[in-house]
Structure 1
Amino acid sequence: MRVKRFALLALLGVLLFGVGLAELLPTLGLGGPWPWGLLFGGLLLAVLGIWAMNRSMLAAFTEPEEVPERVYVRRRLERGPKVVAFGGGTGLSRVLRGLKEHTVHTTALVAVTDDGGSTGRLRLSYGLPAVGDLVDCLAALSDHPALPELLAHRFDRGELKGHTFGNLFLVTLFEASEDFAEAVRRANAILNLRGQVLPATPEAVRLKARFQDGGEVVGEVAIRERRGRIREVFLEPEPEAVMPEALEAIARAELLVLGPGSLYTSVIPSFLPKPLQKAVQQAKAPLVYVANLMTEPGETDGYTAYEHYKAVAYHLGRRPEVVLVHTAPIPEEVLKRYAAEGRHPVTFDPRPFAADGVRVLTGDFREEGPLAQHDPKKVVQALLGLV
């Protein structure tokens, strides 16, 4: 950057302007032409110096030509609704990518009970909550197009093999602050988000499931592998703390969104802390549940959309007023691929929803392509129609 030379240019302009003004004032404008030259020449140099200095400093962060567009977009997003979205993993991050195109007032409340892969190893080493889903959501809300790829970079050799840069980044902030909540706050500030990403709790808790046959299992990975009908899930130990920003966001929200995502290991754990449940129960904003497109082996085998909804309502203590359900056909080749993994479309019957007085938004919410995933644009368009 050439800030110093431009600053000197601006300073020279101010000095010349001052000299010219000093020569003109005693004569009340009756002096010769040279004071006027100093006056206007100095003013021109000052303006040019300040303009060039601003461009040089802005170039460190963005192309100066992009500034008007960025300002316009930011102002438009500032007028967007206040949304709180609960969940974890791929489902929530896809919704966040859609929301950030419409508002900067999104708060993501993320489940922190994952204990597999890189996240599981870091939990064992550092005794902190799960970071993987938090990183995915931080990437989704980032205002910089290169950050998602950077945060998702996974090392493939050496002692770091299997870890992602994003996971290590968040652990580094935790090491520096020795406080997980503060580490998350710093990550939000550094990554320049269109909103904020917060953990459901800053405490290192684990997920425990009680099955219909009376069996109990601790840990997300173990729950998925156990298979069987789940009766309920809860956190162990019961967390005492949630971040105050989370409670404030829920109280101010114009819309509360649950899911999509793994029912018992992502969506429900994101609101299990008692303070969050109480805040949602007391919130005036409408509550929407985005039902999954496909069932998940060992977790929701054979579940209908209504059974997903009932599980959410049971654990939360508040029934969603609106449920969003994909009802359009899914291509046969996609269904075959998922069937090989034991996953099948979530079936929908409107009658039990009608009996409960629940509004159901049906339609095509799937993203085109080889996967059965929600389309961020389609889902968010439906959600924002409720605000």
Structure 2
Amino acid sequence: MKTYRIRKPNIVVIGGGTGLPVILNGLRNQGASITAIVTVADDGGSSGSLRKSVNISPPGDLRNVLVSLSEMPKLFEDLFQYRFNEDDEFLANHSLGNLIIAALSEMRGSTYEAIQILGQIMQVDGHVYPASEKSLTLHAEYADGSVVSGESKIAEKRQKIERVFVTNSCDNEKPKPSRKVIQAIKDADMIVLGPGSLFTSILPNLMIKEIGEAVVEADAEVVYICNIMTQKGETEHFTDANHVEVLNRHLGKKFIDTVLVNTEGVPEGYMDTEKYDEYLVQVTHDFKRLREEGCRVISANFLKLRKGGVFHDGEKVVEELFRIVLGPKY
């Protein structure tokens, strides 16, 4: 049930992947004024196929965010999220929503415009902006000096990542933020990073120079929701402090104000390691180093177990976010 408030805090959420919609849905239900800034560097699966064949920004993360903030009837949401079977040849593994975004992007000549139109059609409660109006290519530089290009290829090397950076996929111009993104960051009461893959969902947005600078310079509280599990080829052997160190190093400043850390253990043998094969073990804690990074640490049970998977409990996370942004009386 949705909660209505006299004061609606302006909360900007930056990221991508499957974790973001869980938080956005919880924020919507609690009556926040929401802006979602979504990565456009995905090049795998249905999104990757469409960005190559139709020359659009990858639609998958944008689709999931639209649905998480939508007031549409459940049947319409299910239809938008429907994914065609693997044996459907041409349509195999494409979701209907991705195809609709591709069609509207081609009609309007802009994925940004397509998302704004769909936001109205889907009765989206909030604003959804692709981080850039052009699709981006994500690059990773490893400890040995080698560089791999393409979000879907980065984890395959399974070496320590020194840094990531983005370039425009279709031209040599420097990546620019979508219209209204910087103003949304400036107007925010709170900026939330994650949950999501550190190197491939969160940092691609911040590596757009103007977005990274706006977040660092913002008056808003910057909150990082630390991942519960380490990820193969990205954050293997990482502590929670390692996640924050990477973010601060990429932005050149200790800009994270608060970190939300899950302290509840995942039951042994619970994870479906075939279905969720990219996740390895739980992120370990290093509260001393977190404090050295200059951030406040809020540790609690944010764990939700569902169908062999490990997720953040959206309601518990959002309750903590509101306590931060509205004060202890919330």
Give, as a single letter, the amino acid of the residue that structure 1 aligns with 2:79: L
* Equivalent position of 1:281 in the other structure: 216
CA contact (8 A) 1:325 1:363 kept: yes
With normalisation by structure 1, the TM-score equals 0.77
Q: Distance in 2 between matches of 1:240 and 1:270?
A: 10
The equivalences for 1:317-332 within 5 A come to 317-318=252-253, 319-332=255-268
* Equivalent position of 1:363 in the other structure: 300
242, 251, 259: which one pairs with 1:316?
A: 251
Say yes or no: does 1:378 pair with 2:309: no
The equivalences for 1:1-387 within 5 A come to 76=4, 79-146=7-74, 147-156=76-85, 157-237=88-168, 239-318=174-253, 319-334=255-270, 337=273, 343-369=280-306, 370-387=308-325
Q: Distance in 2 between matches of 1:123 and 1:349?
A: 40
Give the structure with the larger helix fraction.
1
Give, as a single letter, the amino acid of the residue that structure 2 aligns with 1:217: V
Residue 218 to residue 341, structure 1, CA distance change in 2 (3 Å): closer
CA contact (8 A) 2:228 2:282 kept: yes
With normalisation by structure 2, the TM-score equals 0.90
Residue 104 to residue 362, structure 1, CA distance change in 2 (3 Å): closer
Q: Alignment partner of 1:320: what SS?
A: coil
Q: Distance in 1 between matches of 2:223 and 2:238?
A: 19
Give, as a single letter, the amino acid of the residue that structure 2 aligns with 1:365: F
Q: Alignment partner of 1:114: what SS?
A: coil
Q: Which has the higher contact order (CA 8 A, sep 6+)?
A: 2
CA contact (8 A) 2:13 2:191 kept: yes
CA contact (8 A) 2:259 2:298 kept: yes
Give the structure with the larger strand fraction.
2
Q: Distance in 2 between matches of 1:173 and 1:336?
A: 37
Q: CA RMSD in A?
A: 2.0
Structure 1 alignment gaps of length 5 or more: 1-68
Residue 254 to residue 173, structure 1, CA distance change in 2 (3 Å): same
CA contact (8 A) 2:240 2:290 kept: no
Residue 153 to residue 336, structure 1, CA distance change in 2 (3 Å): closer
CA contact (8 A) 2:140 2:149 kept: yes
Q: Alignment partner of 1:373: what SS?
A: strand
Percent identical: 37
Which range is displaced more, 334-343 or 115-124?
334-343
Q: CA deviation at 1:194?
A: 1.2
Q: CA deviation at 1:274?
A: 1.1
Q: Distance in 1 between matches of 2:8 and 2:228?
A: 28
Give, as a single letter, the amino acid of the residue that structure 2 aligns with 1:251: K
CA contact (8 A) 2:302 2:317 kept: yes
CA contact (8 A) 1:203 1:239 kept: no
Q: CA deviation at 1:239?
A: 3.9
Give, as a single letter, the amino acid of the residue that structure 1 aligns with 2:56: L
- In the alignment of these two chains, the number of paired residues is 315
Q: Distance in 2 between matches of 1:264 and 1:81?
A: 28
CA contact (8 A) 1:207 1:233 kept: yes
Give, as a single letter, the amino acid of the residue that structure 2 aligns with 1:327: T
Q: CA deviation at 1:335?
A: 5.0
